[in-house]
Chains A and B, each alone.
Chain A
Amino acid sequence: EAGVTQFPSHSVIEKGQTVTLRCDPISGHDNLYWYRRVMGKEIKFLLHFVKESKQDESGMPNNRFLAERTGGTYSTLKVQPAELEDSGVYFCASSQGWDEAFFGQGTRLTVV
């Protein structure tokens, strides 16, 4: 069974550009989460989807971040325009019900 996959694994963009990160959860998992680890600090929650609906987006830093989950399958996280402080590793995780959440390998975003 395929795990959670994230694309791209690395992205380097200039300040002001737009970047879109993609997450493919484990098939059949209704819950999808985005987390971010900035500058070696703790991993912080960004938002939670249940199927295609946003259950909790309290961790989204500001309105430059937009997450979508088309048809309740894969999810995208768009940063527009990117700022230097957006650099970090973005993790996606998925779970079925209250079971363990499985994490993807992360996307390392560097804004220069």
Chain B
Amino acid sequence: GQQLNQSPQSMFIQEGEDVSMNCTSSSIFNTWLWYKQDPGEGPVLLIALYKAGELTSNGRLTAQFGITRKDSFLNISASIPSDVGIYFCAGLHPEAAGNKLTFGGGTRVLVKP
């Protein structure tokens, strides 16, 4: 089946740093989405990507839909403490019915002690 490999699994950030995470798959996807989950909350959509090669920004967040349609990355620039949380990539496979999403395992972003 379709599987998304998300890395890193966790990372520590220092305020002001740029951070990056990515997702790869052996299958192609039509749509790539990036979500953030805060403690006690559900995932919230950050960025949606619909075309191969597309580069989209949302404030300090930038995400790209890989040209092969098998990968995507998310960059956070000038990180701030409220960026901590779990970030998930998700994809919509061409053969998926409805809006059935395949999720990556998540990247837990923590503040450097």
Contact = CB atoms under 8 A, between A and B. Distances in A.
Interface range for B: 20 to 34
Interface string A41-78: 11111001010000110010000000000000000000
Interface stretch (B60-68, B72-80, B96-104): B96-104
Which among B6, B43, B106 has the greatest number of chain A C-beta atoms within 10 A? B43
Interface string B8-52: 000000000000000000000000000100001111110010000
B105 interface: yes
A100 interface: yes
A31 B99 contact: yes
A59 B100 CA distance: 10
A95 interface: yes
Interface of A: 4, 9, 31, 33, 35, 40-45, 48, 50, 55-56, 59, 91, 93, 95, 98, 100-101, 103-106
What is the predominant secondary structure among interface residues of chain B facing chain A? Answer: loop
Given A104-B42, A105-B42, A106-B42, A45 B97 contact: no
B109 interface: no
A98 B42 contact: no
B88 interface: yes
| 10 nearest CB pairs, A to B | A103-B42, A43-B103, A42-B105, A42-B103, A56-B97, A103-B43, A48-B98, A105-B42, A104-B42, A45-B100
13 contacts: A31-B99, A33-B98, A35-B101, A42-B104, A43-B88, A48-B98, A56-B97, A91-B42, A95-B99, A100-B48, A103-B35, A103-B42, A106-B42
B103 A44 contact: yes
Contact of A55 (B97, B101, B105, B106): B97
Contacts of A98: 99
